[in-house]
Amino acid sequence: MYRSHNCGELRTTHNNTEVTLAGWVQGVRDKGFMVYVDVRDRYGITQLYFDEDQTSKDLMEQAQRLGREFVIQVKGKVQERASKNPNIPTGDIEVLVSELTVLNSSIVPPFTIEDQTDGGDDLRMKYRYLDIRRNPVKGNLIFRHKVAQAVRNYLSNNGFIEVETPYLIKSTPEGARDFVVPSRMNEGQFYALPQSPQTFKQLLMVGGMDKYFQIVKCFRDEDLRADRQPEFTQIDCEMAFVEQEDILNTFEGLTRHLLKEINGVDVEKFPRLLYDDAMRLYGNDKPDIRFGMEFGELNAVAQHKDFNVFNSAELVVGIAVPGGNSYTRKDIDKLIDWVKRPQVGALGMVYCRCNDDGSYKSSVDKFYNQDDLAKWAEVTGAKAGDLICVLSGETSKVRAQLSALRMELAERLGLRNPDEFAPLWVMDFPLLEWDEETERYHAMHHPFTSPKPGQLELLDTKPCEVKANAYDLVLNGNEIGGGSIRIHDKATQAIMLKHLGFSDEEARAQFGFLMDAFEYGAPPHGGIAFGLDRLVAILGGQETIRDFIAFPKNNSGRDVMIDAPAPIDKEQLEELNLKLNLKS
């Protein structure tokens, strides 16, 4: 037996107990006549004590030769410490060592294994197995486990069955590029890794598994951003014989359960916001409603004067920044420079100070009088002491720009409290969106999303006006889940695929298996998928999903620890009947 106790459980109640511990050396403090060694495992740290009056010379010398991250086993007796350490749970005791075994030595690690380390991101990614020994990373992985366990408990207790679906599937168009896997046994043919188990969970509904879930890996070969991974984890769920309200109620319950179980927070309200209203009031479809600063559209009160910048704009829109009148001119100039950055793309910003005496001072006083500016304040909800920030231009672009500014201001003002949780349903998305590059419609969610009841006929006449029977769950400005009521009959699915540009032959080749299944009594069904990585990060009060993934990839999609992706040798290529044609 390598250990009788772990390094985090010994207390004064264990005094005079003979114990065996095993772990890594956190540090050695050699006082000459006595040696202190901190030994660590994932449960905590215990201080070991070597005393020349009670310890043999050989054992003292062995202790003095220990280095950081050596793996050791010790046997000894628990005793109360003379100088206690209130900062650790085991700080009242130490172990007087009688026997020491070095199980494995260690070279000097490339960074210190401490909560506050001297290792940068790239170095810690390369030696991720060492980084996991640090409390912050270890704690995040344990936290992720607790969230996943709570999810499984809730869904299992509500009649859901966990079913595994295949990883080697057929490539189907679902938005992003597939990762493909060549088949040695089927020359010239390829599997794809699933972007989601979408069609399989629908087939499970056809199969009568009326409440399914799976915590599943998904894969998308898309351009990466700072907080996106090529492989990610979904809490994938589907239910049969349900309408939208059934889905919303069930997964509001899951979210409440997680917030209570994991964070000790009771959340009752799950407001519902139409997609069109989300775009109008916040400029995006995943608004953070922990704070205000709703958009005020100013066309009616700003386009009647001689200011051509506004007169020529499709949309003039502003927000009221609480307490923003305290900003200096230098502060405001920095905000203007911020919105003009390429990442945001605004050409400039107009502002208006709301003075404490009820007067207004704007950067366009030449064109607007006090009555005009008072109307700006009324539309944006600005009060005395606030600052109104106004952008103008093409509707979709200016909404995105003002949304970015709103979030940046909230960050600067400390309005995004990670301990506060504000869930929100966004509903009734457009069913289709036009892609200028391909000059065709694409499904905003996926091709299996049902239109709102009674709107199917509009696909022929006004396709842009058709709303999807779809819903996203937003938490603190992040989409944590999204789903829809699905199409469950062959005729409707064929109409949908036709409007997405599929010929009958293409639809048959891509989705014939699903459409065939619909002819065998497919029940009405719908579902939702949560992004586990994002959900865990938000519940953990952090923004970065990478911190909660055991072995993440960098922003280029590389695993720098194992150096993947990597070339394969000529023999493997020949066995797979593949030939490389790399561009120089």
Write out 317-363 in H/E/C secondary structure.
EEEEECCHHHCCHHHHHHHHHHHCCCCCCCCCCEEEEECCCCCEEEC
Ligand-binding annotation for 53, yes or no, is no
Contact 388/332 with Cβ under 8 angstroms? Answer: no
Ligand-binding annotation for 532, yes or no, is yes
CA distance 232 to 219: 6
Ligand-binding annotation for 534, yes or no, is yes
CA distance 424 to 274: 11
The reported pTM is 0.92
Number of other CB atoms surrounding residue 459 within 10 Å: 19
Ligand-binding annotation for 486, yes or no, is yes
How many Cα neighbours within 13 Å face the side chain of 138? 15
Ligand-binding annotation for 277, yes or no, is no
**In degrees to the nearest 10, what's the CA dihedral of 496, 498, 500, 501?**
170
Q: What angle do CA 417, 422, 424 make, to 5 degrees?
A: 145
CA distance 27 to 318: 57
CA distance 59 to 45: 21
Ligand-binding annotation for 229, yes or no, is yes
Q: Say what angle helices 490-499 and 504-517 make with each other, to 10 degrees.
A: 150
Q: pLDDT of the chain along its 584 residues, tens only?
A: 899 999 999 999 999 999 999 999 999 999 989 999 999 999 999 999 999 999 899 999 999 999 999 999 999 999 999 999 999 999 999 999 999 999 999 999 999 999 999 999 999 999 999 999 999 999 999 999 999 999 999 999 999 999 999 999 998 765 678 999 999 999 999 999 999 999 999 999 999 999 999 999 999 998 877 678 999 999 999 999 999 999 999 999 999 999 999 999 999 999 999 999 999 999 999 999 999 999 999 999 999 889 999 999 999 999 999 999 999 999 999 999 999 999 999 999 999 999 999 999 999 999 999 999 999 999 999 999 999 999 999 999 999 999 999 999 999 999 999 999 999 999 999 999 887 777 778 888 889 999 999 988 888 888 889 999 999 999 999 999 999 999 999 999 999 998 888 899 989 998 999 999 999 999 999 999 999 999 999 999 998 899 999 999 998 899 999 999 999 999 999 999 999 988 86
Contact 173/510 with Cβ under 8 angstroms? Answer: yes
Question: In sequence order, which residues have a C-beta less than 8 Å from that of residue 339 and are 6 or more positions away?
Answer: 346, 348, 349, 391, 401, 404, 405
CA distance 307 to 390: 13
pLDDT of residue 1: 86
Single-letter residue type at 488? H
Single-letter residue type at 46? T
Single-letter residue type at 560? V
Ligand-binding annotation for 174, yes or no, is yes
Ligand-binding annotation for 66, yes or no, is no
